[in-house]
């Protein structure tokens, strides 16, 4: 039974945090609400919106109407973009995990001072502008770039390999950009891992592969899940990397949304796509929370 | 328990005497383990050879850093020797990795798998060996009954007390029925009462399973009460191997004598079957080189107090009396000032009216004084 003092303390707590709450509502919930409302309006002729209720935008995510016959058909171009976005984001997550896990293991098993240095090195790219880093990748992989020049010079290839403006280029870029987001939570999980357990498992007849599968991976799972979400979510909404490295043809959802607000002049569709992206991310986050709770069952 | 059997085995150190065949479970042959390179290399194990017998409770006893854990890790396979061999049932296993050795370890920190239940922890080894699921479950349940934890089978290990975790670690290591069980100071994290309980528990488990136990500890009392035989280690070497009684009553050198129990060390001179001390002579067993300076080692409970002028006694002066309940320690000085401690029953010392400054005579129990060559 809460006493009057307790209730007063709760009330004062709310009052004191009111300014922060108002700010949060305006900065976070407000814009989201605007996007949600816009997704249910009609597109203006030259951009912007007409203040009339319409579900055309939501309909337009999956279907399009033929302008001549007025026939409704599946918007397979849109689906291709969604599919590419999800596919590239999943692949990015896989690649960053494959590279990030050994890296995080390596760092976590160094002496404390060396560990701090390695972590510092991992985070250095964060200090540079994303656009600049992406153009640096461009410089490496473009047809006259460093990679192709080297391979040509070494005689490995006779003509430049087309990497730039392909899905591979986008993948390379995203994996590079988001790698630290995978390494850091993995490091945190591996750092807490009791290395004695390796000896215990090895002593109890587990092969090296079994030690990895039956002991290491299940115990560091919360780190794997956290890293995967941290990579997958921004990959799905990536804009700069596919724009610079993928060119105009290899759009992802982020570029597609931008297109609607720019040349496409279909703000409601852009808004609906943004909301859809948000929903996908929310679902991914929910999955994360559930997986993390399962993993937290052993006291992490 | 089975002291009589072991007493017969331990009557001789290296050969079990005529007619008695003793099979050797584990053997280290000239095992050397050096850490580091060149000049800076440290020999954690310095040419150690030891034979551990089938079914015995063998304890490696020594101060921290003496190499006892390193020897255990060589047997487990976590370390490979710099030179020398490890044999299991007479077979050279030096090159085998830990998962190919029928040897299991109970770790000091228990190292239980936090993501598995108690039953899954216990079944882990069998599961990795590829045993059928039903057998794994059945055997895990049996092991948990053996360590009296069957009611906690479905708990997570983080929900257990220290003593319970200890039992899980034991059950987990015993479940695959190893040829040898290695225990690395498993009781050091427990409080005194629990430790006493687990000592009895360990002896019981060893007796019931018949598995060879190799137990590492720095606690001499633990070693004396639990072991069939003890190997005393210091600075990477095994100094003496023997039954607890051997080690206690006939320590091979000064280190063993001082590490195990309390001992009076008295400087003396050996000649004609006697050691000359300040104020008298003590007859000892022959065998020492004539005319050498020696140290006489006598346990405090082997020192008796007699009248000051009794024949054959050493004159001494009482310095201090320390009361321990049942016993009283009587600190005395010989005529040259060297200190001797006698452990007396409190009832006796009280009646004798001892007090600091009193002049008394000392007699050692016959055959109790050991000559240690300097």
| Terminal CA-CA length for chain A | 32
A141 shares a domain with A12: no
* Strand B280-283 relative to strand B237-242, pairing: unpaired
Per-residue pLDDT, averaged over A256-283, amounts to 90
3-state DSSP assignment of residue A42? strand
Residue B265 contacts by C-beta under 8 Å, 6 or more apart in sequence? B254, B257, B258, B295, B296, B297, B372
pLDDT at A95: 97
Residues A93, A24 share a domain: no
Q: Are residues A291 and A164 in the same domain?
A: yes
Per-residue model confidence (pLDDT) at position A299: 41
Residue to test with chain B: of A203, A210, A212, A291, most B Cβ within 10 A: A203
Residues 6+ apart with CB under 8 A from A173: A134, A137, A241, A242, A244, A245
**What are the pLDDT tens digits along chain B (374 aa)?**
444 444 434 434 444 445 556 799 999 999 999 998 877 888 899 999 999 999 999 999 999 989 999 999 999 999 999 999 999 999 999 999 999 999 999 999 999 999 999 999 999 999 999 999 999 999 999 999 999 899 999 999 999 998 899 999 999 999 999 999 999 999 888 888 888 888 998 999 999 999 999 999 999 989 999 999 999 999 999 999 999 999 998 888 889 998 988 899 988 888 888 888 877 888 887 677 777 888 889 999 999 888 888 888 889 999 998 888 888 899 999 888 889 999 988 877 666 678 888 889 998 988 888 888 65
Query: Same structural domain for residues A94 and A155?
Result: yes
In a domain, A257, yes or no: yes
CB contact under 8 A, A196 and B107: yes
Q: Which residues contact B184 (CB under 8 A, 6 or more apart)?
A: B69, B72, B105, B106, B107, B108, B216
B131 in reach of chain A (CB within 8 A)? no
| Residue B183, phi then psi, degrees to nearest 5 | -125, 115
What residues have CB less than 8 Å from A94, skipping those under 6 apart?
none
* Cβ pair B176:A207 closer than 8 A: no
pLDDT tens sequence across A119-176: 999 988 888 888 999 999 999 999 888 999 999 999 888 888 898 999 999 999 999 9
Q: What is the CA angle A92-A59-A89, rounded to 5?
A: 0
Question: Taking a C-beta distance cutoff of 8 angstroms, is the pair B213, B58 a contact?
Answer: yes
Is the same domain home to A7 and A137? no
Residues 6 or more apart from B352 whose CB is under 8 A from it? Answer: B305
- DSSP assignment of B200-244: HHHHHHHHHH--EEEEEES-HHHHHHH-SEEEEEETTEEEEEE-H
User: Same domain, yes or no, for A27 and A157?
Assistant: no
Using the structure block, give the residue that is written with the tokens 């000051």: B308
Is residue A112 classed exposed, middle or buried when 0-12, 13-18 and 19+ CB atoms within 10 A define those classes? Answer: exposed
Structural domain span for residue A28: 1-38
- Whether residue A67 is contained in a domain is answered as no
Which residues 91-130 of chain B have a CB within 8 Å of chain A?
97-99, 103-105, 107, 109, 111-115, 124-125, 128-129
User: What number of other Cβ atoms are within 10 A of residue A9's Cβ?
Assistant: 11
Band (A295; pLDDT cuts 50, 70, 90):
low
pLDDT for res B178: 95
Residue A136 lies in a domain: yes
Contact across the interface for B107 and A219, Cβ inside 8 Å: no
Cα dist from B11 to A178, B15, B220, B231, B251, whole Å:
70, 9, 21, 15, 15
Whether A10 and A143 map to the same domain: the answer is no
Alpha helices in chain B (DSSP H): 3-9, 68-76, 118-128, 133-146, 162-174, 192-209, 220-226, 244-249, 254-259, 346-351
Task: Specify the DSSP class assigned to residue A128.
Answer: S
Query: Does residue A87 share a domain with residue A19?
Result: no
Chain A partners within 8 Å of B172 (Cβ): 204
Angle at B87 between CA B81 and CA B91, to 5 degrees: 130
> Which residues does chain A have within 8 Å of residue B98's beta carbon, measured at their own beta carbons?
199, 202-203
Across the interface, whether the CB atoms of A299 and B97 are under 8 A apart is answered no
Report the candidate in B134, B1, B125 with the shortest Cα–Cα distance to residue B57.
B1
The answer to whether ipTM exceeds 0.90 is: no
Residue A54 lies in a domain: no
Please indicate, yes or no, if residue A111 is contained in any of the structural domains. Answer: yes
Residue pair B31/B81 in contact (Cβ under 8 Å)? The answer is: yes
What does the alpha-carbon distance between residue A236 and residue A150 come to, in Å, rounded to a whole number? Answer: 32
In the beta sheet, which residues pair with residue B317? B333, B359
Neighbours of A69 (CB within 10 A): 8
In this structure, the strands spanning B280-283 and B91-92 are unpaired
H or E stretch covering B27: strand B24-35
Which residues of chain B make contact with A215, given a CB cutoff of 8 A? 113, 115
Please judge whether B113 and A215 are an interchain contact, meaning their C-beta atoms are less than 8 angstroms apart: yes
- Nearest-by-Cβ selection for A200 from B111, B129, B158: B111
Q: How far is CA B242 from the centre of its chain?
A: 9
Same domain, A16 and A133: no
Do residues B61 and B223 touch, judged by C-beta distance below 8 A? yes
pLDDT at A298: 45
DSSP designation for B313: P
Please indicate, yes or no, whether residues A253 and A117 belong to a single structural domain of this protein: yes
Domains held by chain A: number: 2
Residues of chain A with Cβ-Cβ distance to B114 below 8 Å are 194, 219, 298-299
Which residues are paired to A72 by β-bridges?
A: A65
- Paired residues of A36 in beta bridges: none
Structure token digits, residue A22: 């108002």
A207 shares its domain with A138: yes
Pair (A6, A142) in one structural domain: no
Q: How far apart are CA B330 and CA B341, in angstroms?
A: 6
Q: Of B313, B289, B192, B299, whose CA–CA distance to B256 is shortest? A: B299
Q: Residue A13: which pLDDT band, with cuts at 50, 70 and 90?
A: confident
How many A×B Cβ pairs under 8 Å?
A: 72
Is A230 inside a domain boundary?
A: yes
* Interval A105-114 mean pLDDT: 94
Between strands B237-242 and B274-277, the pairing is unpaired
Tell me, what DSSP letter sits at residue B276? E
C-beta of residue B215 within 8 angstroms of C-beta of residue B225: no
Yes or no: say if B102 and B88 are a contact pair by the CB < 8 Å rule.
yes
Tell me, yes or no, whether A70 lies in a domain: no
Coil vs helix vs strand at A249: coil
**Overall residue count recorded for chain B in this entry:** 374
Query: Reduced to 3 states, what is the DSSP secondary structure of residue B30?
Result: strand
**What per-residue confidence (pLDDT) applies to B13?**
43
* Distance, CA of A81 to CA of A262 (rounded, Å): 17
CATH number of the structural domain spanning residue A118: 1.10.3720.10
Is residue A248 scored above 80 in pLDDT? no
Q: What's the whole-number average pLDDT of chain A? A: 89
Do residues A85 and A99 touch, judged by C-beta distance below 8 A? no
Helices A130-141/A167-192 angle, 10° precision:
120
What are the start-end ranges of the H helices in chain A?
Answer: 4-24, 30-38, 56-62, 76-108, 112-123, 130-141, 146-154, 167-192, 196-203, 208-210, 217-219, 221-236, 240-246, 253-261, 267-295
Residue A238 lies in a domain: yes
> By CA distance, what is A205's nearest residue in B?
B99
Q: Which two tokens stand for residue A109?
A: 């098993």
- The answer to whether the Cβ–Cβ distance between A196 and B109 falls below 8 Å is yes
What residues of chain A lie within 8 A of the CB of B109, using their CB? 194, 196
Chain A partners within 8 Å of B79 (Cβ): none
């Amino acid at each position: 039974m809460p006493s009057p003092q307790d209730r007063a303390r709760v009330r004062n707590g709310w009052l004191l945090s009111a300014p922060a709450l108002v700010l949060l509502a305006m900065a976070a919930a407000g814009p989201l609400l605007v996007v949600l409302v816009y997704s249910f309006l009609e597109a203006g002729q030259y951009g912007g919106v007409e203040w009339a209720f319409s579900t055309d935008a939501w309909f337009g995510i999956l279907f399009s109407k033929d302008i001549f016959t007025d026939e409704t058909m599946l918007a397979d171009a849109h689906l291709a973009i969604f599919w590419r976005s999800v596919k590239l984001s999943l692949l990015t997550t896989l690649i960053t995990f494959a590279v990030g896990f050994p890296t995080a293991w390596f760092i976590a098993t160094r002496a404390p001072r060396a560990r701090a240095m390695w972590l510092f090195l991992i985070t250095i790219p964060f200090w540079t502008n994303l656009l600049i880093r992406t153009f640096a990748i461009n410089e490496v992989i473009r047809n006259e770039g460093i990679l192709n020049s080297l391979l040509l010079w070494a005689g490995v290839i006779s003509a430049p390999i087309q990497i730039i403006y392909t899905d591979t280029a986008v993948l390379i870029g995203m994996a590079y950009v988001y790698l630290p987001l995978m390494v850091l939570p993995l490091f945190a999980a591996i750092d807490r891992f009791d290395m004695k357990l390796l000896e215990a498992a090895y002593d109890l007849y587990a092969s090296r592969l079994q030690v990895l599968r039956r002991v290491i991976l299940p115990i560091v799972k919360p780190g794997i899940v956290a890293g995967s979400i941290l990579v997958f979510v921004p990959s799905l909404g990536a804009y700069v990397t596919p724009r610079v490295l993928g060119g105009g043809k290899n759009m992802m959802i982020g570029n597609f949304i931008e297109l609607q607000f720019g040349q496409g002049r279909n703000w409601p569709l852009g808004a609906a796509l943004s909301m859809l992206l948000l929903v996908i991310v929310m679902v991914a986050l929910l999955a994360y929370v559930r997986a993390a709770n399962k993993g937290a069952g052993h006291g992490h | 328990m089975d002291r009589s059997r072991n007493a017969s085995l331990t009557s001789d150190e290296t050969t079990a005497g005529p007619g008695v065949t003793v099979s050797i479970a584990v053997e280290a042959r000239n095992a050397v383990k050096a850490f580091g390179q060149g000049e800076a290399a440290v020999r954690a194990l310095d040419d150690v050879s030891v034979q551990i017998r089938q079914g015995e409770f063998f304890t490696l006893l020594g101060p921290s850093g003496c190499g006892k854990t390193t020897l255990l890790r060589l047997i487990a396979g976590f370390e490979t020797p710099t030179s020398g061999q490890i044999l299991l049932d007479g077979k050279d296993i030096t090159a085998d990795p830990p998962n190919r050795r029928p040897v299991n370890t109970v770790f000091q920190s228990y190292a239980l798998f936090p993501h598995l239940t108690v039953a899954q922890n216990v079944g882990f080894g069998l599961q990795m060996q590829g045993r059928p699921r039903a057998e794994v479950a059945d055997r895990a349940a049996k092991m948990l009954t053996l360590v009296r934890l069957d009611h906690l089978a479905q708990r997570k290990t983080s929900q257990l007390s220290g003593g319970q975790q200890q039992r899980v670690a034991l059950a987990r290591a015993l479940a695959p029925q190893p040829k040898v069980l290695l225990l690395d100071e498993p009781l050091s994290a427990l409080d005194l009462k629990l430790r006493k309980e687990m000592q009895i528990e360990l002896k019981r488990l060893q007796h019931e399973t018949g598995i060879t136990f190799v137990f590492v500890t720095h606690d001499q009392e633990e070693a004396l009460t639990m072991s069939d035989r003890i190997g005393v280690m210091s600075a990477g070497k095994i100094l003496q191997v023997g039954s607890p009684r051997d080690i206690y009553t006939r320590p091979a050198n000064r280190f063993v004598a001082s590490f195990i129990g309390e001992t009076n060390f008295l400087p003396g001179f050996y000649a004609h079957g006697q050691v000359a001390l300040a104020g008298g002579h003590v007859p000892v067993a022959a065998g020492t080189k004539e005319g050498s300076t020696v140290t006489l080692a006598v346990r405090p409970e082997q020192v008796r107090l007699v009248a000051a002028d009794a024949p054959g006694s050493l004159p001494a002066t009482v310095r201090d009396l320390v009361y321990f309940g049942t016993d009283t320690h009587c600190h005395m000085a010989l005529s040259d000032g060297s200190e001797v401690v006698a452990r007396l029953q409190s009832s006796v010392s009280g009646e004798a009216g001892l007090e600091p400054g009193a002049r008394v005579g000392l007699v050692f129990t016959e055959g109790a004084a050991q000559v240690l060559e300097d």
